[in-house]
Amino acid sequence: MKILIGLGNPGQEYVKTRHNVGFMVMDLVMEEFGFDAFVLKSKLKAYISEGVVGGERIVLVKPDTFMNKSGEAVNAVKSFYKVDFPDLLVCYDDYDLPVGEIRFRENGSAGTHNGMKSCVELLGTQDIPRLRIGINSGIQVEDLSSYVLGRFSVEDMEKIKPVLHAAVEKVKNLLAI
């Protein structure tokens, strides 16, 4: 079994914001694999979609917590499904990377990302595999919170679309599917 978690904020007002890149990737993975729509599992504090790909059970997760409390959902899902870290992947936006860049790491610090900080704190380890997707358009921002909660410009949205699809391919490669 593999668990794929996209970090983001729940609610219509956050759809297509920079901070919801993880959710966008999970939606594309769901479509790519032909899984059923996400369903809220309140016990897990998350929306879940699952299916089988190449004989492997895949669980897609979008936390129903706000970003700063993502670790609550990630911890609940990890405990419920009883998976180890090599079988878990967290996907999220990263201001420290330029728009269009994707980086996979098996472990490391959370950097400036509060959602990942919550995951590291509640899971008690930095050994969390993660796929980071760059959202920095190269402009100086004074208020990082407003920036990540803002929507992509038309130009950046054109840049991010192929990146989201590349992230899906990276997920498939990491799953060896």
Residue type, 173: N
- d(C-alpha 51, C-alpha 133), whole Å: 25
End-to-end Cα, the chain, rounded Å:
13
Distance between CA atoms of 8 and 135, rounded to whole angstroms?
13
Q: Which of 2, 4, 5, 19 is catalytic?
A: 19
Our answer to whether residue 19 is catalytic in this structure is: yes
Nearest to residue 62, comparing CAs of 97, 103, 11?
A: 11
Catalytic residues: 19
